[in-house]
Amino acid sequence: MKAIGYTTSLPITEAQALFDFETAAPTPGPHDLLVRVKAVSVNPVDTKVRRRRAGSAEAPVILGWDAAGIVEAVGAEVTLFRPGNAVFYAGDLNRPGTNAELHLVDERLVGPKPASLGFAEAAALPLTALTAWEGLFDRLQVPMDGGEGASLLVVGAAGGVGSMVVQLARQLTRLTVIGTASRPESRAWVERLGAHAVIDHSRPLSEEIAAAGLGPIDYTYSLTQTDRHWGEIVKAARPQGRIALIDDPASLDALPLKAKSLSLHWELMFTRSLFATPDMIRQHEILAEVSRLVDAGTLIATAGAAFGTINAENLKRAHAAIESGSTIGKIVLEGWD
């Protein structure tokens, strides 16, 4: 089968940063689906993993976590899907990635592809939808269909995860949703997704929130540059509020949380699969609900740009765009040359 991989962490401008190669097709284990990948999307985690390898791998490492495709074969103990089913999922850090024609994934991490979307649009959703859902409802513990009178600040609302956080919060809760964006095009995107207000994160957040008459903030979901905004996030928070984050600050001083009794929550979508937690099937359940909400018209697709077919050259362009920090929505690739 065709695949795209790397052996050494290199700048994305280098020819061997990602390269095309051929490899043997994998064989499903008991709970595995063998999926023929039709489309993928690219996430910041793809670039982070590519840049952080220590030394050189003996065989090419395949990246990629978001995918949509068709089940080709199933393991002996699979009960949720059968060959021919269209699926979408975000995969597992422990296993080879989705930048391959055929891919193995545990059925408990997989949802039925929304029938109303094509494969590329569907591939844009799983990782960000799971991260948004888990962060809001599992970590911050926002009450479903609740939160009336409370506010949610989404830092970096125009990105892939932010695009889903804004939609889920607006559609499934009664929170006042405040997104941050600094460019006219990203601001328009966040407004389209349903945010009640959009503030400029290039300015002090607490001042922007106060000027809009929106504070103090009950829940904050910080998705990017948390270390840059940390003091302002704490300053804007309501006493006994909750803060969640997904990025990787070089350092984070938790002591300022004490005076307000603020709680800090980390969200990593891969935790359930990394540790094979007893509730791993929850990701299947979340993706099934996301699929239903998309087909009902409650949620919209967040694909921002199509970068062509799945090959090394197009994936390098996608990684470069992600590393620039200026993408809106998700980058998708579809089909094989």
Return the H-helix or E-strand segment holding 284: helix 282-295
**Mean pLDDT across the chain:** 95
Q: Report residue 302's pLDDT band, with 50, 70 and 90 as the boundaries.
A: confident
Please state at what angle helix 160-172 crosses helix 126-133, rounded to 10 degrees. Answer: 50
Tell me the pLDDT tens digit for each residue of 234-269.
999 999 999 999 999 999 999 999 999 999 999 999
- At residue 259, the pLDDT reads 98
Q: Are 336 and 101 in contact (CB under 8 A)?
A: yes
DSSP 271-284: HHHHTT-TTTTHHH
Dist CA 252 CA 167 (whole Å): 28
pLDDT computed for residue 328 by the predictor: 81
With bands split at pLDDT 50, 70 and 90, how would you rate the model's confidence at 231? very high
Confidence of residue 34 (pLDDT cuts 50, 70, 90): very high
For the chain, give the number of residues.
337
Task: Kindly report the three-state secondary structure assignment for every residue of 164-222.
Answer: HHHHHHHHHCCCEEEEECCCHHHHHHHHHHCCCEEECCCCCHHHHHHHCCCCCEEEEEE
As a whole number of angstroms, the distance between CA 267 and CA 221 comes to 10
Question: Is the pTM here over 0.75, yes or no?
Answer: yes
Determine contact, residues 108/284, Cβ cutoff 8 Å. Answer: yes
15 contact partners, CB below 8 Å, separation of at least 6: none
Q: Is it the case that residue 56 has pLDDT exceeding 90?
A: no
Task: Please name which of 111, 165, 172 lies closest in space to residue 302, comparing C-alpha atoms.
Answer: 165
Tokens 């945010």 belong to which residue?
195
Are the C-beta atoms of 74 and 7 separated by less than 8 Å? no
Tell me what pLDDT residue 36 has.
98
pLDDT band of 326, cuts 50, 70, 90: confident
68: helix, strand or coil: strand
Output the pLDDT for position 327: 80
pLDDT digits (tens, 9 = 90+) for 58-112: 899 999 999 999 999 999 999 999 999 999 999 999 999 999 999 999 999 999 9
| 16 vs 26: CA distance, rounded Å | 24
Inter-axis angle of helices 184-193 and 160-172, to 10 degrees? 30
